[in-house]
């Protein structure tokens, strides 16, 4: 297919900063798409058809696809494939039809201003995303580059850092990078006041923990105290073993069936930003716990579905992994979940009752798999002077791989 669509990245220096090849693509275009800011850069005498972005964005993509075969040019900010429009466009239009000419991304520009190595920082975008996403990126010594939603984003970031016990973290706001009015503002989170920040800004954050603050690891096994729950919680040690058995890979989808407070699906998502998860829970109070924990621990993209599992799962996308921590006494749930699991997928079931073990053994006789008994003892005070071992309820875990 001939390349009919071009996507051109533009910096703060506007059309004057475009390369010769970008100028050539723009000049050849019959139709030009982009945001109002970018379209306003074109000369007033330019009478070519313009397509401003619409909401929902998919409407604009449909408009572009309907022009297939004509010369179409999209004007975008910076690098179109760095949290940009290019990533979205390529979900519907093959790269063989597209020419992409990037400008330096905001992250590259920020690194050049601050002397950072792009390979040694973590990057995220808060444009069109919940600011609570930041929570999973915070740990002692973390260096973050953040695409802001607007002028209020730095204040929201400062508030989250303070509440997490990272008030001494240094926040640097880089405004209008590449523009003659480029500006840099630096302060610590605790001192951050409502400043006159430009709407177009990128943030750099160096996370510095207050004395006594222990960071939350991305490795499975967060402290039980990190979750709000009513006792329906897969305990820390068992959770770590369970996540190991589920073996998350980037981009994979987990069903957390009978999710309780959501600890398994939340830790699955924290393992890699590309992972996906659906938490299924019928108890309304626990659904609130899941939503609260997901926001607090930086996984606002966790999909939460309320209802009975057997009624919900027929309508869900096929998963790469399934965890069942509750409701295993309903034998049809096992059959339905196993049938939905993708080939090569993992199913992990934890039970603590004899009735649950009986059903698991009957299931094992049908599809095979492996059993593990997890018995944990924690040291706890006995009286005022001594420590002793207190046993947790043993957990029987079944793991099956669908070949």
Q: What is the pLDDT of residues 277-325, one digit of tens each?
A: 999 999 999 999 999 999 999 999 999 999 998 899 999 999 999 999 8
- Can you tell me the distance from the alpha carbon of 282 to that of 260, in angstroms, rounded to the nearest whole number? 9
Task: Give percent of the chain with pLDDT exceeding 90.
Answer: 90
CATH 3.40.1010.10 residue ranges in the chain?
5-103
Mention every residue, 6+ apart, whose C-beta is less than 8 A from residue 83.
Answer: 125, 127, 147
Which CATH homologous superfamily contains domain 107-206?
Tetrapyrrole methylase, C-terminal domain (3.30.950.10)
Tokens 């606002």 sit on residue: 300
Q: Residue 235 has what pLDDT?
A: 94
**Ranges of H-type helices in 57-184:** 57-65, 85-89, 106-114, 153-163
CATH 3.30.950.10 domain extents, the chain: 107-206
Beta bridge partners of 396: 351, 373
Which tens digits make up the pLDDT trace of 325-375?
876 777 689 999 999 999 999 999 999 999 999 999 999 999 999 999 999
Q: What is the pLDDT of residue 2?
A: 85
Q: Say whether domain 5-103 belongs to CATH 3.40.50.300.
A: no
Q: What is the pLDDT of residues 178-189, one digit of tens each?
A: 888 899 999 999
Name the pairing type of β-strands 346-351 and 321-324: parallel
Q: What average pLDDT does the chain have?
A: 94
Q: What's the predicted TM-score (pTM) here?
A: 0.90
Predicted local distance difference test score (pLDDT) of residue 1: 67
**Cα of 27 vs its chain's centroid, Å:** 38
Pick the CATH number of 224-401 from 3.40.50.150, 3.30.465.10, 1.20.58.340, 3.40.50.620: 3.40.50.150
Parallel, antiparallel or unpaired: strands 31-34 and 49-52: parallel
The pLDDT tens digits for 114-160 are: 999 999 999 999 998 999 999 999 999 999 999 999 999 999 999 99
């Amino acid at each position: 297919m001939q390349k009919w669509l071009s996507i051109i990245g533009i910096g703060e220096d506007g059309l004057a900063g475009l390369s010769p090849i970008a100028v050539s693509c723009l000049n050849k275009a019959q139709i030009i798409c982009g945001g109002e800011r970018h379209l306003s850069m074109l000369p007033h005498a330019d009478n070519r058809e313009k397509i401003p972005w619409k909401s929902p964005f998919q409407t604009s993509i449909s408009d572009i696809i309907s022009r297939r075969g004509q010369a179409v040019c999209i004007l975008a900010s910076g690098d179109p494939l760095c949290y940009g429009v290019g990533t979205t466009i390529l979900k519907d239009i093959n790269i063989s039809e597209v020419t992409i000419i990037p400008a330096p991304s905001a992250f590259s520009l920020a690194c050049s201003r601050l002397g950072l190595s792009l390979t040694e920082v973590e990057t995220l975008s808060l444009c069109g995303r919940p600011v609570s996403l930041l929570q999973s990126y915070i740990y002692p010594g973390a260096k973050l580059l953040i695409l802001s939603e607007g002028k209020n984003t730095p204040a929201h970031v400062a508030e989250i850092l303070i509440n997490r016990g990272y008030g001494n973290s240094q926040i640097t706001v880089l405004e209008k990078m590449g523009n003659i009015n480029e500006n840099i503002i630096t302060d610590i989170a605790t001192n951050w006041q409502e400043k006159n920040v430009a709407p177009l800004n990128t943030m750099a954050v160096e996370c510095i923990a207050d004395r006594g603050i222990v960071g939350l690891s991305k490795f499975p096994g967060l402290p039980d105290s990190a979750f709000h729950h009513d006792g329906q919680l897969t305990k820390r040690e068992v959770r770590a073993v369970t996540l190991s058995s589920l073996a998350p890979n980037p981009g994979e989808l987990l069903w957390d069936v009978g999710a309780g407070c959501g600890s398994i699906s939340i830790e699955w998502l924290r393992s890699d930003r590309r992972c996906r998860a659906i938490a299924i829970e019928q108890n309304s109070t626990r659904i609130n716990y899941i939503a609260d924990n997901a926001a607090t621990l930086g996984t606002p993209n966790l999909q939460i579905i309320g209802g009975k599992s057997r009624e919900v799962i027929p309508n869900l996308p096929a998963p790469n992994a399934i965890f069942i921590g509750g409701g295993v006494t309903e034998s049809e749930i096992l059959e339905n979940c196993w049938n939905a699991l993708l080939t090569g997928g993992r199913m992990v079931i934890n039970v603590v009752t004899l009735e649950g073990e009986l059903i698991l053994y009957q299931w094992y006789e049908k599809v095979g798999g492996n059993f593990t008994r997890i018995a944990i003892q924690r040291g706890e005070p006995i009286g005022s002077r001594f420590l002793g071992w207190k046993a947790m309820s043993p957990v029987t875990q079944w793991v099956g791989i669908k070949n």
